[in-house]
Amino acid sequence: MIENTKKYLNQELAKTIAMAAKDRKASNILILEVTEICYLADYFVIATGFSKTQLKAIAQTIQEKVYQEYDKAPRHSEGKKDSNWILQDFGDVIAHIFLPEEREFYNLEAFWNNAKRLEFSPLGTIEP
């Protein structure tokens, strides 16, 4: 029961992160459930922005929204200064925000190809 509650709360956090990215016009938003194959987190949220300014805006909006709804700040952030990839670690959920070239180069979707993919719909729902 506790494990199901934790999974639900982490999935809701991932959904909140995806919605915040969507609010800043992120593209190709994907949620990967990595619970069974990764000890780092339960979910990765991957999104694409089209400029460094947009990446920063997406990251800022994610941080604000998660703080407002969960009273939680990232444990760790990487890449905020002139980066092509920003990572925000919220514990059981990690957000990756890429420029298109970086997303293609690092191809986390292929690296974590055994993860369950949850497509993020424009309505804010996630579907397997």
Distance CA 109, CA 45 (A): 10
Average pLDDT, stretch 62-80?
A: 94
3-state class (DSSP) for residue 26: coil
Return the minimum-mean-pLDDT range out of 49-53, 61-65, 118-122: 118-122
pLDDT-derived band at 128 (thresholds 50, 70, 90) equals low
Average pLDDT, stretch 77-101?
A: 93
Whether 41 has a pLDDT exceeding 80, the answer reads yes
pLDDT-derived band at 118 (thresholds 50, 70, 90) equals confident
Distance CA 14, CA 4 (A): 15
Please give the single-letter amino acid code of residue 71. Answer: D
Is residue 38 packed enough to be buried (19+ CB in 10 Å), middle (13-18) or exposed (0-12)? middle
Whether 82 has a pLDDT exceeding 70, the answer reads yes
Arithmetic mean of pLDDT over the chain: 90
Distance CA 93, CA 115 (A): 14
What backbone torsions phi and psi does residue 79 show, to the nearest 5 degrees? 85, 20
- Domains of the chain (ranges; CATH) run 2-122 (3.30.460.10)
Whether 124 has a pLDDT exceeding 80, the answer reads no
pTM for this model (two decimals) = 0.90
